[in-house]
C-alpha cells in the first residue's frame, strides 16, 4: 500500500513539475511580457534617418538591462552592444531602426501620428513603413535568448542598432566611425528583413544575392534660355531632358546581358518656370539597380554616355553638358553561399522544413547591409527574410514604403527572433 502511495505521489509530482522549456516557448513568453509592448512603442514613435535619437536611447537602455557593454553614437545615432562568452568566433547581429517620411494610413490602432524635421530641414510625417520596428524589437529578444543559452555557444556577439538604412548611409557611417577597429572584428554577420509579401513566420535564406545594388543619381541637364516663341535662339533643356529619359529605356533592353537583371527608373523630372520661357536647367532623379558589380558599372557608364550624347546631338555647348552626381549608393548584398547553406540547414532542423520559404525575390530592393560584408572586410554574411502577412491577407498586402503598409508583429518578431538565435548558436557552436 505504501509503495502504491509513493508511486502515486511520484506521478503527481512529475505531473506538477514544469515541462522543459524550448526556444520557441521561451520566445512566446518573452513576446507577451516584453517584446509586444516594446514593438508598440517603436511603431508609435518612428524617427527619420540619422534622427533616431530616442529610438537609439531606448535600444541602448534595453541592451544595458541585459548586461551588455553598450556604446552609443557610433556613426551618428548607431548603437553597438558587445556580449562576450569565452573564446570563439565573432558574430555581428544587425537591426536597422529608421522610419520613412510617410503619413501612415494603415488603419492600425497604434498607427504613428509623428512628425519630425528631416536632415534636409523640412518637417515631414514619419512611419515605420518598412518594418524596421520589428527588426529592432527582435534584436532585443535575440539577445535575451542567447544570454539564457550561453552554455550552448562560445565566442563574441556584436549587436548593431544601425541608423539610416533608408538613406543607405548608416552602415557606411558606422564603419567609417571605427566599427571594425573600435569593437571586435566579426567573422560572420547576420540580419533579417521582414517581408510583407510572404506568409507570416516563414523564413527565407538566399544562397547568393539577397538584395540589389542601389545608386541614386542626380542629373542636371543644362541649356540656353530663350523666349518660348523664339526657340531657335536657345537650346531647350526640357527637350534634351525628355530625350534623355526616353533614350535611357534602351540601356537595360539593349546594352546588358538579357539574363542579368537591371533597372533604370527616372523618378523625378523638374524644369521650367513659365509656359512661354525656355529655361536653363532641368533636374532628373534616377534610381539604378543591379545584381552584380559588372552590370552596375555598365548602367552607370551608359547613363553618362546617353546624357552627354543626347545633349551634344541637340547642340548643348561642351561647357554645359549634363552633370551627374550619385547621392546615395550601396553595392549588392550577397550572402556567403557556404554560410547561408549552413544556416539554412540549422533552421530547417530546428524550425521545420515547412517554415522555410520558397518565395522568389520580387523587384530589386536594396540594402546597405552590403557594407558590413564587403569583400575587403572578409566577413561572411547571411541576410534572411521573415514573412510578415497572414496567408489570407497576402493578395491585398500593401508593399513596403506604402502608407498602407503593415505586418503582423507577433509571428514576424517571434520567427525573426527564433531564426536569429538559431543562426547565432549554429555559427558560434562549441566544438
Over residues 159-177, the pLDDT tens digits come to 999 999 999 999 999 999 9
Residues 88 and 8: beta-carbon distance below 8 Å: no
**pLDDT tier at 419 (50, 70, 90 boundaries)?**
very high
β pairing state of 78-85 and 277-278: unpaired
How confident is the model over 135-158, as pLDDT tens digits? 999 999 999 999 999 999 999 999
Question: What's the pLDDT score for residue 12?
Answer: 38
**pLDDT tier at 261 (50, 70, 90 boundaries)?**
very high
Question: What's the pLDDT score for residue 8?
Answer: 41
**pLDDT tier at 6 (50, 70, 90 boundaries)?**
very low
Question: What's the pLDDT score for residue 358?
Answer: 87
**pLDDT tier at 372 (50, 70, 90 boundaries)?**
very high
Q: Hey, CA dihedral for 191, 332, 290, 167, is it positive or negative?
A: positive
Q: Hey, CA dihedral for 395, 396, 401, 406, is it positive or negative?
A: negative
Whole-number average pLDDT of the chain: 94
281: left (phi over 0), alpha (psi -120 to 50) or beta: beta
Distance CA 389, CA 319 (A): 53
Looking only at Cα atoms, what is the longest distance across the chain? Answer: 116
Question: What's the pLDDT score for residue 21?
Answer: 62
Q: How many Cα atoms are found within 13 Å in the side-chain-facing hemisphere of 258?
A: 2
Least confident of 19-28, 29-38, 113-122, 402-411: 19-28
Evaluate if residue 91 carries a pLDDT over 80. yes
Evaluate if residue 13 carries a pLDDT over 70. no
β pairing state of 226-227 and 277-278: antiparallel
Distance CA 159, CA 162 (A): 10
**Domains along the chain with CATH numbers:** 23-212+332-427 (3.40.630.10), 213-330 (3.30.70.360)
As a dihedral over the C-alpha atoms of residue 249, residue 250, residue 253, residue 255, rounded to 10 degrees, the angle is: -130
Section 340-351 average pLDDT:
97
Section 330-345 average pLDDT:
97
Question: Which cell numbers hold the place of 4?
Answer: 502504491
Section 191-207 average pLDDT:
97
Distance CA 95, CA 159 (A): 8
Q: For residue 129, with 0-12 CB atoms within 10 Å meaning exposed, 13-18 middle and 19 or more buried, which class applies?
A: buried
**pLDDT tier at 360 (50, 70, 90 boundaries)?**
confident
**pLDDT tier at 7 (50, 70, 90 boundaries)?**
very low
How confident is the model over 61-76, as pLDDT tens digits? 999 999 999 999 999 9
> Between 241 and 362, whose confidence is greater?
241
Amino acid at each position: 500500500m505504501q509503495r502504491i502511495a509513493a508511486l502515486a505521489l511520484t506521478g503527481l509530482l512529475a505531473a506538477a513539475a514544469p515541462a522543459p522549456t524550448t526556444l520557441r516557448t521561451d520566445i512566446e513568453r518573452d513576446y507577451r511580457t516584453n517584446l509586444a509592448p516594446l514593438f508598440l512603442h517603436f511603431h508609435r514613435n518612428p524617427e527619420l534617418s540619422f534622427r533616431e535619437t530616442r529610438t537609439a536611447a531606448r535600444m541602448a537602455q534595453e541592451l544595458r538591462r541585459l548586461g551588455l557593454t553598450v556604446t552609443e553614437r557610433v556613426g551618428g545615432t548607431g548603437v553597438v552592444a558587445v556580449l562576450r562568452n569565452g573564446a570563439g568566433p565573432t558574430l555581428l547581429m544587425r537591426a536597422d531602426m529608421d522610419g520613412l517620411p510617410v503619413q501612415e494610413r494603415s488603419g492600425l490602432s497604434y498607427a504613428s501620428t509623428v512628425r519630425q524635421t528631416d536632415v534636409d530641414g523640412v518637417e515631414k510625417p514619419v512611419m515605420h513603413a518598412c518594418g524596421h520596428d520589428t527588426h529592432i524589437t527582435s534584436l532585443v529578444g535575440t539577445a535575451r535568448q542567447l544570454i539564457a543559452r550561453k552554455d550552448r555557444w562560445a565566442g563574441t556577439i556584436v549587436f548593431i542598432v544601425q541608423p539610416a538604412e533608408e538613406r543607405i548611409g548608416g552602415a557606411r557611417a558606422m564603419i567609417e566611425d571605427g566599427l571594425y577597429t573600435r569593437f571586435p572584428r566579426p567573422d560572420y554577420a547576420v540580419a533579417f528583413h521582414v517581408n510583407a509579401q510572404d506568409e507570416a513566420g516563414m523564413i527565407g535564406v538566399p544562397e547568393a544575392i539577397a538584395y540589389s545594388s542601389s545608386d541614386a543619381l542626380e542629373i542636371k541637364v543644362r541649356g540656353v534660355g530663350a523666349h518660348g516663341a523664339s526657340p531657335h535662339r536657345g537650346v531647350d533643356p526640357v527637350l534634351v531632358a525628355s530625350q534623355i529619359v526616353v533614350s535611357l529605356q534602351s540601356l537595360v533592353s539593349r546594352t546588358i546581358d538579357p539574363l542579368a537583371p537591371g533597372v533604370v527608373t527616372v523618378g523625378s523630372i523638374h524644369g521650367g518656370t513659365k509656359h512661354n520661357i525656355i529655361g536653363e536647367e532641368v533636374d532628373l532623379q534616377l534610381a539604378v539597380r543591379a545584381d552584380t558589380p559588372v552590370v552596375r558599372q555598365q548602367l552607370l557608364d551608359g547613363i553618362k554616355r546617353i546624357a552627354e550624347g543626347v545633349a551634344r546631338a541637340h547642340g548643348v555647348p561642351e561647357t554645359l553638358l549634363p552633370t551627374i552626381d550619385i547621392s546615395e549608393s550601396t553595392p549588392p548584398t550577397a550572402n556567403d553561399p557556404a554560410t547561408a547553406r549552413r544556416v539554412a540547414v540549422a533552421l530547417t532542423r530546428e524550425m521545420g522544413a515547412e517554415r522555410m520559404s520558397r518565395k522568389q525575390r520580387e523587384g530589386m530592393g536594396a540594402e546597405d547591409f552590403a557594407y558590413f560584408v564587403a569583400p575587403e572586410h572578409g566577413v561572411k554574411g547571411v541576410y534572411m527574410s521573415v514573412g510578415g502577412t497572414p496567408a489570407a491577407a497576402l493578395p491585398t498586402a500593401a508593399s513596403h514604403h506604402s502608407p498602407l503598409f503593415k505586418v503582423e508583429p507577433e509571428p514576424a518578431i517571434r520567427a525573426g527572433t527564433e531564426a536569429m538565435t538559431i543562426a547565432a548558436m549554429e555559427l558560434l557552436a562549441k566544438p
